[in-house]
Amino acid sequence: MGTRAGGLYVGRRAAAAGAALLLALLAALLALAALYGRCRQEAAPPPPPSPRAPGPAAAPPPAPAAGSVRRLPRHLLPLHYDLELWPRVRPGQAGPFAFTGQVNITVRCLRDTDAAVLHSAGLRSRGAAAVRGPLSEPGAAVEVAGLRHDEAGEVAVLELRGRLRAGRRYVLQLGFQGRLDEDLDGLFLTRYTDRGQSSMLIASQMEPTYARRVYPCFDEPAMKATFNIRIIHDPSYVALSNMPAIDVCEVKDENGSLWTVTTFNTSVKMSTYLTAFVICDFDYVTRTERGNEIRIWARKEAVKNGYVDYALNITGPIFSFLEDILNVSYPLPKTDLVALPDFGAGGMENWGLMIFQEASLMNLPSDEFTSRKAMIALVVSHELGHQWFGNLVTMNWWNDLWLNEGLASYFEYLGATFVEPKLSLDKIFYAHVVQPVLREDSEIARSLSESEDKIKGSFSLMSLFDNITYSKGASITWMLSGFLTEKLFIRALTSYLKEFSFSNANQDDLWTHIQMVVDAQDEVQLPAPVKQIMDSWTCQNGFPVLTLNLTSGTIRQEQFFNKNNRKSTDSYNNTWIIPISWMRNGSSQPLTWLDKSSKMFPEMQVSESDYDWILLNVNLSGYYRVNYDQLNLKRLARLLENDPKAIPAVSRFQLIDDVFTLREFGYVPIETALELTKYLAREDELFIWNVVLLNLIPENLESMLKNNAVYPFLKKYLLKRMLPIYHYYAGFIRQNADALEDDYFAQVYLEKLLATACWLGLQDCLDLSSELYAKWRDNPEYKIPFLIRRTVCCYGIAVGSDKEWNFAWEMYNHTDSIEEDEDILLHAMSCAKEPWLLYRYLQYGLSDTLFSSNCTSVIISHVATKDIGHHIAWEFVTENWPLLSQGYGHELLHDVLKAMGRFVKTDVQIQELQVFYNATLEEEERETITMLLESAKLENIERRKLLIKIANWLEKNIDD
């Protein structure tokens, strides 16, 4: 499936779940507001990515749980499907909607049986089922005694009066009908607006187990077959499927109405989850790359305005790049990419008919900023990678899903940086893939590859589509390519792809082909068989942390875990076979291996010289963290102060990220982490500054830190170090922000740097925000540079008066404003420093003529996060609870109430909150809230202890 939607897979540290939940609730509310859509009640003209048009929606039928994993008996093997689908939909028609169909499945009988069992979910029979064959006997048939549907097991059983004989071929014939709903799974209908007109389209999403909701089938990835597909549809629509259309004709229904019949060429052998259908009134742009006709379909307005031109321009080159590097040709004659206004994933790799969220493919032709193009390139490259990893060679079963998603995620970054060479592959891969999943992997109790037996029963396959599968899979692949060398790795992948083309494989098959390549050369020597090395990474939970003792040259490994919350029953006995890339005093050293729990490396013993230092895991070549002894950390800190570029940028990022994470998990004291920040005045990489600021000033704790004794020390210490990089980028903003259009990390991380400078009270930052905001006030046609718009609007209002606030309110209500700007202004209006303005804003939030109910909670949450706002927000909630409760319900404000937990420090405060909860919430809810508040209080107490240590350290080192 496509790349992960931002924020979808969020790790949870179980031991601190209650307190962490309190701190995360606010961010969740803000994200929900974006999901709910526009806050304003009145409709506005649609922006390029179209909102869904209003229209009747059929109530969804009771559906089986997503990702049911009942396995089929191995009596029958599907060879070919003849499939006809007929969605009974006319333009402008009101629901409910349905579809009918007929499927004839040619099967080979592997074992004698008197029943044919296949998948079917939510479908009803249409006409009598039949079984023809054996096909070697013309006219032969096997009588069907009955057709039984097991909805819980998602299977249909054809009970036969005779027996199907092993070695013979038969055709199962089934008519069916189903509901066509708007749930974005299986075959679904979605509504949208194009050129001011309400329209409908029909599309499909089959992965992992939704094909069985569209047609009866053998819905397992290893049961591949070929397909002849025919779609009957309204003549005003065009029908698309995996293969090119070979015939278009007309047919009349039982009422004499005319329909179009589109017939498609026979498909290649593929899994059912890759079958795809789109029926729409879209336009397309096209180009041909090496005989592969590439078409990108989208709303007519979007195509006319050039919104999909960039996606078209990169798709062919990425295809060619992947063909060349893998030395395996793309086997289909055409590729359609369809941009849906509403789709449940970033993209889906259906062979020959890839489907995307509209936002994943569209780019304004005038938008030259690399960050937007990079996002499109990454999503497109991921789905194109699947044409080899997933489509051509598919995992045997979902337990090895990482063979699809992990490898596609790895090639996603190679393909994207090929078409956007200004992106730094190692920096973007580490910042977006490895670092986030390292933080998450210590919290999730599952391995990358599970046993087939484990994924059965009530296990939800959808839970496998997470960051472990995608990002850990990609990270392990990155490490594997690193220690093999890319040349050998690609050679092994080519061998793997060619042997298992149009078939299935498991991870042992991949290890076998890598071993074959390793055995055929003598340049790369491994300490153990490939399977033994790689199983230690894919079949165990978590990852290791290496501890280096420079005096003895000893490296010890252990599983990385939270030492602050370790339970006596926990078991952390895993060991890994670990490749160690390292450098000494700036010189790269030969790769070495740690294949036991502890090992001495004489070459890593250092002298007494302060300039003798060791760096492990250079450029994050391995999937692990490193814990250095105090001697090496002091030498590295000194090196950073004297010559930071002696350590590669990715390794500097990794060094800081490791040490702050090690502090958080109880391995090192905070003072050790802070020592590595002294050099920052000489740090010019924004992605490194970003990880420092996220650790020192988490966004959800800004208001708490502002009122803490640490703030003045933090202000003086950080501003002294931030000024060089701040002035560098402020110069661009004042003179020519467009010059940053190729600076990816500026577009992603400059906002955080600027927001921190303003939060720390840097006068130049406040003046800059005020200047740009005033420029916008004077000329509403002026566009504040988008990469800093949120910060400029916030601090433009914060340092201004009611005039600045009123202008934001006016622009928020402007009919031409787009949703992204509305979200920025919704936040900015909570930045006012005058209490009466915040109170008025909260009052506005009560008005159902100005806002929808979801925005009421967002406004309250925004205000509650500000240093002067949380008391105002709390008083407002308590004073207006009868109205809020009546107008918006308990659920809407439940999270807002819990968000107040971040300010709880004493039992008295808990009691004050409980007085309110006791009067408003049910007993069960009160108990939950009390537990969360108690947990929040304990975390806040621990945080205060930590801040005292930080303040003491800063006070001693503030002038260094």
Of all helices (H) and strands (E), which one includes residue 894?
helix 881-899
The tokens of 601 are what? 């490396």
Dihedral of alpha carbons 638, 644, 646, 647, sign = positive
Please give the torsion angle defined by the CA atoms of residues 471, 477, 481 and 487, in that order, rounded to the nearest 10 degrees: -110
Strands 277-280 and 197-205: antiparallel
| Amino acid identity at 458 | S
List CB contacts of 12: < 8 A, sequence separation 6 or more: 20, 443
383 SS3 class: helix
Sheet holding 614-616, edge to edge: 587-594, 578-584, 614-616
Cα–Cα distance, 801 to 796 (Å, whole number): 9
| d(C-alpha 392, C-alpha 394), whole Å | 6
Whole-angstrom distance, CA of residue 230 vs CA of residue 250: 12
Q: What is the dihedral of CA 300, 301, 303, 305, to 10 degrees?
A: 160
**Of 733, 635, 718, which Cα lies nearest the Cα of 683?**
718
Structure-token match 């390794």, residue found: 651
Q: Say how many CA atoms lie within 13 Å of 21 toward its Cβ.
A: 16
Going from the C-alpha of 230 to that of each of 132, 218, 247, 263, the distances in angstroms are 21, 19, 9, 4
470 is catalytic: yes
The residues that bridge with 181 in the sheet, in sequence order, are 188
Distance (Å, whole) CA 652 – CA 656: 6
Q: CB burial class (10 A; 0-12, 13-18, 19+) of residue 93?
A: exposed
Phi and psi for 516 in degrees, rounded to 5?
Answer: -60, -40
Q: How far apart (Å, rounded) are the C-alpha atoms in residues 724 and 679?
A: 12
Beta bridge partners of 771: none
729 catalytic per annotation? no
Q: State how far the Cα of 202 lies from the Cα of 340, in Å rounded to an integer.
A: 10
Dihedral (Cα; 281, 282, 283, 286), 10-degree rounding:
-120
561-578 burial string, b = 16+ CB within 10 Å, else e?
bbeeeeeeeeeeebbbbb
From 470, 628, 773, 917, the catalytic residue:
470
Which alpha helices (H) appear in 453-566, and where do they start and end? 467, 473-484, 486-499, 507-519, 530-538
d(CA 903, CA 937): 8
Tokens in use for 441? 């992997």
How many angstroms separate the Cα of 212 from the Cα of each of 120, 155, 273, 932?
Answer: 5, 8, 9, 42
Cβ–Cβ under 8 Å, residues 294 and 316: yes
Helix pair angle (309-326, 486-499), 10° resolution = 90
Q: CA 195: distance to chain centroid?
A: 31
Distance of CA 288 to the CA centre of its chain: 31
Contact 646/611 with Cβ under 8 angstroms? no
**Do strands 347-348 and 393-395 pair parallel, antiparallel, or not at all (unpaired)?**
unpaired
Please tell me the distance from the alpha carbon of residue 389 to that of residue 383, in angstroms, as a whole number: 10
Residues assigned a catalytic role? 383, 470
